Amino acid sequence: MKRLILPLAVALLAVPTLSRADLPPDVAKAVAAMGHKNDAAATRKIFDPLQPKDPVAVAGLKAERDIAYGSDPLQKLDVIWDGKTTGNRPILVFVHGGGFTGGDKHTFGQFTYDNVMTWANQQGMIGVEINYRLAPKNQYPDAAYDTRDALAYVAKNARQWGGDPNQIFLWGNSAGASLVGIYVSHPEFHYKPGGGIIGAVMTSGGYEARPSAFFGNDPAKVKAASSVNGLKATKIPLFFTRAEWDPETPQIAQGEMIHKVLTEAGHEHMFHIMATHNHMSQVYSVGTSEHQLTDLLGPWLKQLAAGVKSASN
């Protein structure tokens, strides 16, 4: 199959985009009051009144929980879909954050990250959210291999959900975005040549590895885990955000760095600064009346999917 990706306008790819934020004033005020501190639980509580506790049920979708893609208890994924096995719908695979030591694809009674999955279905996609092995028990590259194995499982089983294995997107937030960067930039983790995905989305990730419980303290190993050079070399379309109220180090610095590096290398990419948002709120807002992120991301995903469909005809 000949692969064709339709390019976005150069203006969107080469410079930061700015978009009007529509957070309710009290929510925007609460987010700003937190400053640059990353507190996922506190941020989620701010957004609880804006989200249903069970977005999947409210949308009338089907959830298949804790499907094993490996033997470890953490190697599980959820599939959120409409139950229709026909069609060739794109698939959005979401990788949660948590500093490589925590986090979860979904917690019962909370909207995260079923809000992202529900939005994906509303865009005509199938949603998949994954868990992966965590540090300190599992260090790099275990979680990168989990990303590979989860994608391979999704591709192998896509048809049973009415999905197209040739139209898989990978989206990660925070440490999940770092894992997406690692997956994209290191061909040794690809489940098939070229990576097997048609677009990668990274919201507030880190792209230069640092000594930690996940990466370890071996300088050579940490350097090898960095994504920067591989992101410059990849042909996979890239979409980045960082938030106005992200931690200044590393997320704001890392977001500005990767945008600068890719721009200087002439590598087309989308980069957007999420005005009024913090590290977690940009993802927690998905599915609310505030759609700063999704107004940009939705058309980007659809255009890439349309390019693949056009090339296959």
**In contact, 134 and 102? CB cutoff 8 Å:** yes
Joined together, the tokens standing for residue 297 give: 């991301």
Tell me the mean pLDDT in the region 84-109.
96
Give the rounded percent of residues in the chain with a pLDDT score beyond 90: 89
The candidate with the shortest Cα–Cα distance to 74, out of 9, 152, 14, 132, is: 132
Could you count the other beta carbons within 10 Å of the beta carbon of residue 299?
A: 13
Could you count the other beta carbons within 10 Å of the beta carbon of residue 257?
A: 15
> What's the whole-number average pLDDT of the chain?
92
Three-state SS sequence of the chain: CCCCCCCCCHHHHHCCECCCCCCCHHHHHHHHHHCCCCCHHHHHHHHHHHCCCCHHHHCCCEEEEEEECCCCCCCEEEEEECCCCCCCEEEEEEECCCCCCCCCCCCCCCCCCHHHHHHHHHCCCEEEEECCCCCCCCCCCHHHHHHHHHHHHHHHHHHHHCEEEEEEEEEEECHHHHHHHHHHHCHHHCCCCCCCCCEEEEECCCCCCCCECCCECCHHHHHHHCCHHHHHHCCCCEEEEEEEECCHHHHHHHHHHHHHHHHHCCCCCEEEEEEEEECCHHHHCCCCCCCHHHHHHHHHHHHHHHHHHHHHC
Could you count the other beta carbons within 10 Å of the beta carbon of residue 42?
A: 14
Backbone angles phi and psi of 298, in degrees to 5: -55, -55
Q: Is the pLDDT of residue 10 over 70?
A: no
| Domains present along the chain, CATH in parentheses | 10-312 (3.40.50.1820)
CA separation (Å) from 232 to 116, 203, 253, 265, 292? 28, 17, 18, 7, 27
Q: What confidence tens digit (pLDDT) does each residue in 47-75 have?
A: 999 999 999 999 999 999 999 999 999 99
pLDDT band at 144 (very low <50, low <70, confident <90, very high): very high
Joined together, the tokens standing for residue 43 give: 């941020």
Joined together, the tokens standing for residue 100 give: 């490589």
Q: What is the pLDDT of residue 313?
A: 61
Distance CA 61, CA 46 (A): 25
Joined together, the tokens standing for residue 152 give: 């391979």
**In contact, 113 and 129? CB cutoff 8 Å:** yes
pLDDT band at 5 (very low <50, low <70, confident <90, very high): very low
Joined together, the tokens standing for residue 271 give: 């980069």
Q: Cα Rg for the chain, rounded, in angstroms?
A: 18
Q: Is the pLDDT of residue 21 over 80?
A: no
Give the rounded percent of residues in the chain with a pLDDT score beyond 70: 93
Q: Is the pLDDT of residue 43 over 50?
A: yes
**In contact, 180 and 222? CB cutoff 8 Å:** no
